[in-house]
C-alpha cells in the first residue's frame, strides 16, 4: 500500500498550494482530486457569469513573485474561465500534476491509533496510507439540491450552478427558470436573461447586491498594480478581510445625514465589498446597518422600473452583510427586461412540477430548463460526505452532530494528524479566501516541520482548547449582526444541520496574530506525542 507523509484531498487553490509547500519541504505528498482537472470551485462552477468577487489582484496567490509577475489579470474581477486558466498555469509552472490523482474520490479515511497514521480508501487509486491527512476540500464544494416537491416529474434539463456541464448548456431562446438569488444566482441571472427566450426568477429571499463595475484593466493600471504587489499584499495581510482595500475608516453614526449619503454613494460607485468594509459600525450597530441597507433599497427602487418588482427585490428580513453580500453586473437592471419575470416563492410557494411546468400555489410556469442556484452544504459538507473516523472509530459527522468546530479552524480533537484548510472556526469565508488558504498552509507547514524536527508522530487538538476557540468564535459572532440572518454561515440553509456560527468574525490579521502566538508558545492547545514517549 503506498505510504505518504501527507495525503491532500482536493486540487483547488488550497490543495495546490499545500502540495507545493509541503513537497518543497521534503514531505512526500499525494493529492486526490475528484475532478479531472485542477481549480476546485473554479473547475465546477462554470455557470454563465461566474467570476470572483474579490478583485483579481487580491484574489490570487501571493507566495510567488514570479507567478505574480508572469501572470496578468485582464479584468478587475476575472471570469471563471480565466481563473481556471490561472490555476492550470500555476499547476504547470510548479509541476504539480505528477503528484495528483485526478478523477479519484476519497471514499473513507480511518486513523490508525497504533501506527499514528491514516488509512485512506479511494474509488480509483486503491488504499493509501499517510501520516497526515490534509483536507483541502473547500468551504463551498458540496452543492445543495433542495427538496422541491415533485421535481422528478420535470422532463426538462435541471442544472445546478455548481455542477455546470463542461460542454456548456444551450439556453438560447429557451424558457429558463432559476431558483436561488444568492451570489451564484445574482451572477448568472443577467447573462442567462440575455440568452434565454424567457427567464423566470423564483426568489425566496432577496439579497443585497452591490455593483462590481467590472471591466478590463487598462495596461497602465495592470503595470502599476504589478509594481505595487508587495505593498498591496502586505496591506492585505494586515487587514480584517485579507484584502488591500481601505477598511473601517468611517463610522456611519458619527456622520451627518449628508455626509452619510455621500459616503454610501461613493462606496456604491466604487463597488464591491468596500460597501461593507469601509464602515466600522455597519455590522455592530443595528441603526447604522439599517441606514446602509436603506441606501441600497433606495438604489434598487431607482433602478427597477416596476414598483412591485422593485419592492419584491428589496431585502427586508436581515441586516445588510449578515448574509454574504452579492457583487453583481447589471443584476437589478435585468428585471427591467421584457423577457424576465420575478416570482416571489415565499408569498406563492412552489407546490410541484409537471413534465414541463413549475407550479406554485397560484400559477404555473412553462419551462424548458431549470437552473438551481441553491447553494452549498457550506464549510462542513465535504468533510462529512464520507466516513472520516478518528480515535475509537468515531466519525467526524457524529463528532459534529451538535455543531462543527475545529481548533483555529484547522484541527479537530479526536482526529490526530488531520488538518482542515479553512475549516469551521477559521476566518476563510469572511476573508479573501486565497490569502486565508495561504496563511493556513504556511502555518501548517511550520507545524509539520516542527513535528519532524522534534520527532513528533502525533498532533492533536486539545478538546478544551478547541471548545474555548469555538466559544470565542460564537461569542464574537453574537456581538455582531452576523447572527441575525438565516445564512449558510450558520448552516441555516441545510435542513437538520445544527445551527452554529462557523466562521471566525474577528478578522484575518487578528486570527493570524493568534496563530503565530500559539506557535511561538510551542503550539499551545495541541497534544504533541514524541517518538520517545511513544516508546516509553
Q: Kindly list the residues in this chain that would bind ligand N01 in the complex (CB under 6 A).
A: 52-53, 140, 146, 148, 179-185, 187, 204-205, 324, 345, 373-376, 429, 488, 493
> Which of helix, strand or coil describes residue 447?
helix
Min CB(146)–ligand N01 separation in Å: 3
Min CB(310)–ligand N01 separation in Å: 18
Identity of the residue, 181 or 417, whose beta carbon is nearer to ligand N01 in the bound complex:
181
The 3-class SS string of 293-317 reads: HHHHHHHHHHHCCCHHHHHHHCCCC
Residue 79 backbone phi and psi in degrees, to 5: -75, 160
Identity of the residue, 345 or 385, whose beta carbon is nearer to ligand N01 in the bound complex:
345
Min CB(502)–ligand N01 separation in Å: 12
* Separation of alpha carbons 50 and 313, rounded Å: 21
Q: In the block, which residue shows the cell 416571489?
A: 344
- 17, 437 in Cβ contact below 8 A? yes
Burial class (CB in 10 A: 0-12, 13-18, 19+), 519: middle
Min CB(142)–ligand N01 separation in Å: 11
Identity of the residue, 183 or 276, whose beta carbon is nearer to ligand N01 in the bound complex:
183
Identity of the residue, 381 or 405, whose beta carbon is nearer to ligand N01 in the bound complex:
381
Burial class (CB in 10 A: 0-12, 13-18, 19+), 256: exposed
- 183, 53 in Cβ contact below 8 A? yes
Identity of the residue, 260 or 440, whose beta carbon is nearer to ligand N01 in the bound complex:
440
Min CB(62)–ligand N01 separation in Å: 18
Identity of the residue, 110 or 385, whose beta carbon is nearer to ligand N01 in the bound complex:
385
Min CB(184)–ligand N01 separation in Å: 3
The runs of H, that is alpha helices, within 286-432 are: 286-303, 307-313, 331-334, 381-384, 396-399
Identity of the residue, 421 or 461, whose beta carbon is nearer to ligand N01 in the bound complex:
421
Contacts of 393 (CB under 8 A, 6+ apart): 110
Identity of the residue, 101 or 422, whose beta carbon is nearer to ligand N01 in the bound complex:
422
Burial class (CB in 10 A: 0-12, 13-18, 19+), 66: exposed
Min CB(50)–ligand N01 separation in Å: 6
* Separation of alpha carbons 424 and 411, rounded Å: 10
Q: Characterise 468 by phi-psi region: left (phi > 0), alpha (psi -120 to 50), beta (else).
A: alpha
Nearest-CB residue for ligand N01: 182
Min CB(194)–ligand N01 separation in Å: 18
Amino acid at each position: 500500500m503506498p505510504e505518504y507523509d501527507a495525503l491532500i484531498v482536493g486540487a483547488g487553490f488550497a490543495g495546490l498550494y499545500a502540495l507545493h509547500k509541503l513537497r518543497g519541504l521534503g514531505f512526500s505528498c499525494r493529492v486526490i482530486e475528484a475532478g479531472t482537472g485542477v481549480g476546485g470551485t473554479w473547475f465546477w462552477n462554470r455557470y454563465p457569469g461566474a467570476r470572483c468577487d474579490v478583485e483579481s489582484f487580491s484574489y490570487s496567490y501571493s507566495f510567488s513573485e514570479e507567478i505574480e509577475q508572469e501572470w496578468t489579470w485582464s479584468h478587475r474581477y476575472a471570469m471563471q474561465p480565466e481563473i481556471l486558466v490561472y490555476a492550470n498555469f500555476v499547476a504547470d509552472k510548479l509541476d504539480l500534476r505528477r503528484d495528483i490523482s485526478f478523477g479519484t474520490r476519497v471514499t473513507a479515511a480511518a486513523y490508525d491509533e497504533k501506527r499514528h497514521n491514516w488509512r485512506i480508501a479511494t474509488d480509483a487509486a486503491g488504499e493509501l496510507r499517510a501520516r497526515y491527512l490534509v483536507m483541502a476540500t473547500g468551504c463551498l464544494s458540496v452543492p445543495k439540491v433542495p427538496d422541491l416537491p415533485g421535481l422528478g416529474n420535470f422532463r426538462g434539463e435541471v442544472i445546478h450552478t455548481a455542477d455546470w456541464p463542461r460542454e456548456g448548456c444551450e439556453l438560447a431562446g429557451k424558457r429558463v427558470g432559476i431558483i436561488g438569488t444568492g451570489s451564484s444566482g445574482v451572477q448568472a441571472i443577467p447573462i442567462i436573461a440575455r440568452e434565454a427566450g424567457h427567464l423566470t426568477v423564483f426568489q425566496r429571499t432577496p439579497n443585497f447586491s452591490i455593483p462590481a463595475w467590472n471591466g478590463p484593466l487598462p495596461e497602465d493600471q495592470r503595470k502599476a498594480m504589478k509594481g505595487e504587489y508587495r505593498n498591496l499584499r502586505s496591506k492585505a495581510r494586515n487587514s480584517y478581510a485579507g484584502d488591500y482595500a481601505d477598511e473601517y475608516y468611517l463610522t456611519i453614526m458619527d456622520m451627518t445625514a449628508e455626509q452619510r449619503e455621500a459616503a454610501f454613494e461613493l462606496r456604491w460607485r466604487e463597488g464591491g465589498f468596500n460597501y461593507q468594509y469601509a464602515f466600522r459600525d455597519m455590522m455592530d450597530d443595528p441603526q447604522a446597518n439599517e441606514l446602509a441597507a436603506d441606501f441600497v433599497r433606495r438604489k434598487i427602487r431607482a433602478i427597477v422600473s416596476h414598483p412591485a418588482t422593485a419592492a419584491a427585490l428589496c431585502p427586508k428580513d436581515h441586516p445588510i452583510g449578515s448574509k454574504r453580500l452579492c457583487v453583481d453586473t447589471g443584476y437589478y437592471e435585468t428585471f427591467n427586461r421584457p423577457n424576465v419575470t420575478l416570482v416571489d416563492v415565499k408569498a406563492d410557494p412552489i407546490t410541484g412540477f409537471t413534465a414541463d411546468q413549475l407550479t406554485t400555489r397560484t400559477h404555473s410556469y412553462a419551462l424548458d430548463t431549470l437552473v438551481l442556484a441553491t447553494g452549498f452544504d457550506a464549510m462542513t459538507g465535504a468533510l462529512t460526505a464520507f466516513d472520516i473516523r478518528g480515535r475509537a472509530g468515531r466519525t467526524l459527522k457524529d463528532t459534529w452532530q451538535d455543531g462543527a468546530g475545529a481548533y483555529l479552524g484547522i484541527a479537530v480533537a479526536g482526529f490526530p494528524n488531520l488538518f482542515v484548510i479553512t475549516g469551521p472556526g477559521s476566518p476563510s469565508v469572511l476573508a479573501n479566501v486565497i490569502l486565508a488558504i495561504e496563511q493556513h498552509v504556511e502555518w501548517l507547514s511550520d507545524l509539520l516541520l516542527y513535528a519532524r524536527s522534534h520527532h513528533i508522530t502525533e498532533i492533536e487538538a486539545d478538546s478544551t482548547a478547541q471548545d474555548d476557540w469555538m466559544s470565542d468564535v460564537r461569542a464574537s459572532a453574537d456581538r455582531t449582526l452576523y447572527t441575525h440572518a438565516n445564512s449558510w454561515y450558520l448552516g441555516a440553509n441545510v435542513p437538520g444541520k445544527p445551527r452554529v456560527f462557523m466562521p471566525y468574525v474577528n478578522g484575518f490579521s487578528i486570527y493570524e496574530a493568534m496563530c503565530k502566538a500559539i506557535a511561538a508558545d510551542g503550539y499551545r492547545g495541541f497534544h504533541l506525542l514524541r517518538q520517545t514517549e511513544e516508546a516509553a
